[in-house]
Amino acid sequence: MLKRKTVTKSLECKVRITAITDTMQVLSGKWKIHILGTLLQGGKMRFMDLLREIDGIAAKMLSKELQDLEMNQLVTRTVVDTKPITVEYEVTEYGKTMEPIIDEIANWGVFYRNRLHGKTD
């Protein structure tokens, strides 16, 4: 019996599936993309800055997500010896390679809103 040609079972496609899974794991959760997006625009930012800038996030979540991002080397954490100590977070060069993804996601979201109540109505 002839085998049906599989589409995604080729090595190429398995690599693609793994790649997508990897990326989505690194960006998992409700907040990582927002934290990264905020840090990409804001440069060096302190914990309390991020907590205030990112609407709706709780300290626990911010803390946990920053740890994840740090473990994956997407952001750096630097303790600054100020009066009350502050901690600065910054996107690494490696983390900046996420920018195209975040941009595409943001672009699509704008496009989506436009389509919903935009031109076609």
Partner DNA sequence: TGCATTACTTACCAATTGGAAACTAGTTTC
Partner DNA sequence: GAAACTAGTTTCCAATTGGTAAGTAATGCA
Binding region for a second copy (CB under 8 A) = 6-9, 13, 15-24, 26, 33-34, 37-38, 41-42, 45, 52-55, 94, 97-98, 100-102, 104-113, 115
Give the whole-angstrom CA distance, residue 49 versus residue 47: 5
- Residue 40 interface partner, choices a second copy, DNA, none, CB cut-off 5-8 Å depending on type: none
Residue 120 is which amino acid? T
Dihedral, 19, 22, 27, 28 alpha carbons, nearest 10: 130
**Dihedral sign, Cα of residue 60, residue 89, residue 97, residue 108:** positive
Among 13, 19, 20, 59, binds DNA (CB under 7 A): 59
Give the whole-angstrom CA distance, residue 27 versus residue 21: 10
- Residue 29 interface partner, choices DNA, a second copy, none, CB cut-off 5-8 Å depending on type: DNA
User: Is there binding between residue 58 and DNA (CB under 7 A)?
Assistant: yes
Please, which residue, 60 or 119, has the CB nearer to DNA?
60
Please, which residue, 14 or 64, has the CB nearer to DNA?
64
